Amino acid sequence: MMALGPIMLGLEGLALTAEERELLRHPQVGGVILFARNYQSPEQVAALTEAIHALRQPRLLVAVDHEGGRVQRFREGFTRLPAVRQLGEVYDQAPHRARQLARATGWLMAAELRSVGVDFSFAPVLDLDHGVSSIIGDRAFHHAPEVVADLAHAYRSGMQKAGMEAVGKHFPGHGGIAADSHLELPVDPRSYEELAATDLLAFERMIHYGLAALMPAHVVYPQVDDRPAGFSVRWLKTILRQHLEFQGAIFSDDLDMAGAGQAGAPAERAHAALAAGCDMALACNDRRAAIAILEGLPQTLDPVREVRLIRMHGRGRTHLTRLRRNPVWQQAMRLVQSYDAHPLLDMDT
């Protein structure tokens, strides 16, 4: 029996290599994040997750970015999910209908991922669309925090019914600046009071609804702290844990992103994220950096972190073929297709 470590790694291809099997047994590893490069078919990815889960007890967490719209890693063989903005557009005309569709979409997304052994998706996005951020854009439900919280609550309830916990992102809000944290370090000049009255509201409401996990943004809010939120003790421990009373898991955004560069070399980034309050740090796309993190990070035991992470394991599983025969799946798919009015855009790495 080995505790879940605080590092989540990316994989190179469609099956585990001998090196990856060794890396995933490292005591500092606690999970794997999958991308389009790791996906060929439902059968292939199910075999991959089974191989990952068989390596250790408790089993490693397996995650994926599967929001819908531009960000859906598994395509062929999975239902195409619309961008959640379309739910916000329905909400403007028919709030009850939009909540029904959000529950169905959350359930469908989670049920299909659970059928191939994925524990959770990094979803839903809780950012507001202020009309300036191309990296957020239609990934946001709406521009109004009350609507975002209402739809995200329904979406999460659907996910939970399918056996999956939700991860809200990107705390405390990535939608207010144009810069893309994948490419540079965004700076949001707003005060805490301005953020609290807008972007933070959706996160606060979802926390009170019992949200299991959050992902902070690689964004600096200089009127609050000079460090990006994901490396900030003030944001994660003081504001999120103490003021907002969040008890769930905190996953860093990808440490390979340019927005994380301020924190130093790879091992320094991971150490800074964990010291600031993250329970798990993501090293997604740079194998050399991931190895440097595993070799340079001091080992610490944290029973509270372990409890938070164990909660993220998926519950229940139905094979995808059997799932598709389920009238609930068929009805959910019809509901999703009923509001899918736009072509899927490709944004993947």
CB distance 231 to 273 below 8 Å: yes
Starting at the edge strand found earlier in the chain, the sheet holding 7-10 runs 120-121, 61-64, 29-34, 7-10, 280-283, 249-254, 213-216, 167-171
Indicate the DSSP class of residue 144: S
Catalytic residue among 127, 138, 225, 253: 253
CA dist., res. 78 & res. 311, Å (int): 25
- List of E strands, the chain: 7-10, 29-34, 61-64, 66-68, 71-72, 120-121, 167-171, 213-216, 249-254, 280-283
In whole angstroms, what is the distance from residue 203 CA to residue 168 CA? 8
Separation between Cα atoms, residue 331 and residue 335, nearest integer Å: 6
253 catalytic per annotation: yes
Residue 182 among the catalytic residues: yes
- Which one of 26, 180, 182, 286 is the catalytic residue? 182
Question: What is Dmax (Cα atoms) for the chain?
Answer: 54
Concatenating the DSSP letter of every residue in 72-90 gives ES--TTSPPPPPTHHHHHH
Residues with active-site annotation:
182, 253
